[in-house]
Structure 1
Amino acid sequence: MSEHPIPDAPQRRTPGDEFVQALARGLEVITSFDAEHATMTLSDVSKRTGLSRATCRRLLLTLVELGYVRTDGKAFTLTPQVLKLGTAYLAGLGLPQVAHPHLEKLSAALGESTSCAVLDGTDIVYVARCSTRRLMTVGITVGTRFPAHATSMGRVLLAAERDLALPETLPALTAHTVTDPDVLRAELVQVREQGYAVVTQELELGLRSIAVPVRTSDGKIPAAINVSLPMNSPLDPLDRLDQVQATARAIAEDLDHLH
């Protein structure tokens, strides 16, 4: 399974008076690179973004000049400097630094991988992770995105959104993925009532996980945490619910102290 793909011809919003098209296109070019497209030719970038080769060439060469992209004359690759675009957000958030030691402790206690994610539109974005083994065909790191509806953390975070707008159809990542919006809405009601979500083989075959919200003292849910387990694990996710919830409370308390 691959990460959430970027369509070949993405839909663009109608620009307003304050819209800077060149900036938007530059960001499109940057985000067209991912784990499966780490190195691309000019034609590759043009195909991935839906922009003309001439436009992509100007944008790529500008990004090369700014240090965000490197090239050997034929292929282009992002440089570590692009991390600056997200580091300021993560540092200001405080969440990764707060969550990571708690995730490490939980991971050591259970012998399983633990993660923390936030909601971004209809995706989740990983902001912290402690991995004990590689459970998925795609390596998960800080910044990895997945469709929220197919993940336990995504279900928890979507359940907290009262005015949630869902598309008419949801992408199927496996044969087990819920793709009917009405079925998902019913599932989210249950998640909201019970305070946790268990997802089995909806994101990837052979993988199940349990997630709970990180709820701060003001009632907000800025993030969710989860524990991922292989299907052949002797652990029952629900048997570990208390430990996962205790970890979420500890993270929330630390966040309260920061603010």
Structure 2
Amino acid sequence: MAGEASSGTFLQGLERGLAVIRAFSAQAPSLTLSEVARDVGLTPATARRILLTLEQLGYVRTDGRQFSLTPRVLALGWAYLSSLDLGELAGPYMEELSAATRESCSIATLDLPDIVYVARVPTSRIMTVALGVGARLPAYPTSMGRVLLAGLSSSELDVYLANMQTEQLTPRTVTSASLLRAAVDQARADGYALVDQELELGLRSLAAPIYNSRGRVVAALNVSAHASRSTPESLCEEVLPHVLCAADHITTALKHRGHL
């Protein structure tokens, strides 16, 4: 592998650890120790030390023979996304969206098992919890969470569903792994997600994905509305076109800025 010789400013161990993480892919979601050593160009002993270190840190899991990544590796991407200042870039489009729909809108990224708010334009406080940049909510009962989960690979989603911890937040909250998988699949097929009072009674929200240049979902944009002012049908007919348009503009703006 590259960088065999270390210098005073080059950490070979870090390079090797990142190379091991990159060895996993959609085509190779799980690998044996020998396969990692071969693919990365390491001795089996070195590959073993790195894999066991990554396992202790929570980035890798193993059944004793096969190794695979855990959703925690997404936190590495979150560190990058949080530096993009989406609030500044997406602000004008979010202001237009909020004005057009007369509702609050937000952008969040995924840091499993939660979504993390990175930008928000509130109109009025329609939730009992205060939300701002950096606020976290569980992914499973939120429209942005459904959209972001739909952007995961099949193996990543499998791991999330196998390990998720749910709570019956309202009588409508989906807590079953099979039902949540169906909802995520529906969001992937539709290109948006609508959640009806699963996080909080009286709150409906609709979200659309924001993509990078490789077509991967990196964030989600939503509009939240009180149930007294909306129906699922009215959100889809009147609000969804505005959300999809704003999400498309933000995706284009990110690409033009050269971040994604």
Superposition TM-score, scaled by structure 1 size: 0.64
- Give the distance between the partners of 1:116 and 1:91, measured in 2 at CA: 11
Pairwise CA RMSD: 2.3
CA contact (8 A) 1:102 1:250 kept: yes
* 1:133 aligned counterpart, secondary structure: coil
1:257 aligns with 2:239: no
Cα shift at 1:95: 2.1
- Count the aligned residue pairs: 178
The residue type equivalent to 1:179 in the other structure is T
Cα shift at 1:233: 0.6
Q: Which string of whole-angstrom CA distances, capped at 9 and with x for unpartnered residues, describes residues 109-146 of structure 1?
A: 11100000000011000000000000011111001100
Match of 1:223 in 2: 219
Compared CA separation, residues 182 and 246, structure 1 to 2 (3 A): same
- The runs of 5 or more residues in structure 1 that have no matched partner are 1-14, 21-87
Cα shift at 1:186: 1.0
Match of 1:196 in 2: 192
1:180 aligns with 2:171: no
Match of 2:118 in 1: 127
- Give the distance between the partners of 2:230 and 2:177, measured in 1 at CA: 32
CA contact (8 A) 1:169 1:180 kept: no
The residue type equivalent to 2:187 in the other structure is V
Match of 1:115 in 2: 106
CA contact (8 A) 1:90 1:96 kept: no
Of 219, 238, 242, the match for 2:236: 238
Q: Which string of whole-angstrom CA distances, capped at 9 and with x for unpartnered residues, describes residues 73-111 of structure 1?
A: xxxxxxxxxxxxxxx866622322212221111001111
Cα shift at 1:16: 4.7
- Give the distance between the partners of 1:147 and 1:103, measured in 2 at CA: 23
CA contact (8 A) 1:170 1:181 kept: no
Moved more, 92-101 or 238-247: 92-101
Cα shift at 1:175: 1.6
Moved more, 97-106 or 163-172: 163-172
- Give the distance between the partners of 2:202 and 2:115, measured in 1 at CA: 20
CA contact (8 A) 2:108 2:220 kept: yes
CA contact (8 A) 1:124 1:154 kept: yes
- Give the distance between the partners of 1:172 and 1:102, measured in 2 at CA: 34
- The runs of 5 or more residues in structure 2 that have no matched partner are 1-51, 58-78
Structure 1 residues 58-207: aligned runs within 5 Å: 92-162=83-153, 163=155, 164=157, 165=159, 166=161, 167=163, 169-207=165-203
* 2:108 aligned counterpart, secondary structure: strand
Q: Which string of whole-angstrom CA distances, capped at 9 and with x for unpartnered residues, describes residues 118-177 of structure 1?
A: 000110000000000000111110011000010000000001112212126522221211
- Give the distance between the partners of 1:234 and 1:179, measured in 2 at CA: 24
Compared CA separation, residues 90 and 137, structure 1 to 2 (3 A): same
Match of 1:50 in 2: none
* 2:221 aligned counterpart, secondary structure: strand
* 1:93 aligned counterpart, secondary structure: coil
